[in-house]
């Protein structure tokens, strides 16, 4: 595992640089646009790295701060988010901007990123808000009328409102079809399976 690279920039090419280390080995590293603006050829550089191993080759992604790398790996835990998508999200703003967007459940921040649709943005908020100590507010991402009915029904059955919202959100993320095409009863049934499983596991 290559966790960190220190050396001098030998070449700059598009979104990446070629870093020459003291041992004479050159590493090709992808850098965020913000970090690229600060660097020039022959500059010294020290970055935390994430190594993606693929069948057709390896790719190194560089981060100026360790907390950026941590956020990147957190994004990789979101279903449907791979290294390229995660790096595009990291490149969309500063660490503080992205962190604040998650904390504020700002779905518009993520849907404004190329390649990130509403469903993916909801998954990001759902998965990451709990990891940074925040509660995902599904209402802020505009529940459909059927979703609200399903949540109310679950609450009337004794489940907590926030847990019910999370369960409905998970259904929307897992379905291979448009979640708005299935009925309220089916949403309630699927959500109850999630909530019952969580309850039995605790």
What share of the chain in percent tops pLDDT 70? Answer: 87
pLDDT tops 50 at residue 202? no
How far are the Cα atoms of 5, 6, 25, 103, 170 from residue 21, in angstroms, in the given order?
A: 8, 6, 6, 38, 45
Q: Buried b vs exposed e over 3-18: b needs ≥16 C-beta within 10 Å? A: eebebebeeeeeebbb
Mean per-residue pLDDT for 75-87?
90
pLDDT in tens, 26-37: 999 999 888 888
The reported pLDDT for the residue numbered 201 is: 46
Question: Mean pLDDT for the chain?
Answer: 83
Give pLDDT, residue 176: 43
Q: Looking at the domain that runs over 143-201, which CATH code has it been given?
A: 1.10.8
The CATH number of the domain covering residues in 66-136? 1.10.150.20
Q: Where are the domains of the chain?
A: 4-63, 66-136, 143-201
Rounded Cα distance between 193 and 114, Å, is: 34
Task: Decide if 156 contacts 164 (C-beta within 8 A).
Answer: no
Superfamily for domain range 4-63: Nucleic acid-binding proteins (2.40.50.140)
Q: Give the model confidence (pLDDT) of 143-182 as tens digits.
A: 678 888 998 999 999 988 877 877 777 776 554 445 556 7
**Do 4-63 and 143-201 agree at the fold level?**
no
- What does the pLDDT read at residue 168? 79
**By three-state DSSP, how is residue 40 classified?**
coil
């Amino acid at each position: 595992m290559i966790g960190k690279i220190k050396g001098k920039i030998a070449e700059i090419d598009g979104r990446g640089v070629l870093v020459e280390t003291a041992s004479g080995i050159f590493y090709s590293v992808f850098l965020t646009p913000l970090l690229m603006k600060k660097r020039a050829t022959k500059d010294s550089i020290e970055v935390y790295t994430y190594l993606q191993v693929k069948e057709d080759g390896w790719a190194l992604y560089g981060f100026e701060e360790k907390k950026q790398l941590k956020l990147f790996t957190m994004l990789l835990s979101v279903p449907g988010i791979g290294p390229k998508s995660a790096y595009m999200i990291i490149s969309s703003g500063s660490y503080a901007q992205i962190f604040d967007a998650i904390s504020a459940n700002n779905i518009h921040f993520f849907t404004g990123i190329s390649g990130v649709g509403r469903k993916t943005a909801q998954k990001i908020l759902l998965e990451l808000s709990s990891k940074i100590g925040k509660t995902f507010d599904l209402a802020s991402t505009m529940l459909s009328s059927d979703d609200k009915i399903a949540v109310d029904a679950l609450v009337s059955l004794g489940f907590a409102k926030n847990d019910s919202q999370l369960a409905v959100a998970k259904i929307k993320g897992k379905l291979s079809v448009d979640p708005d095409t299935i009925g309220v009863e089916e949403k309630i049934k699927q959500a109850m399976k999630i909530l019952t499983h969580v309850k039995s596991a605790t």
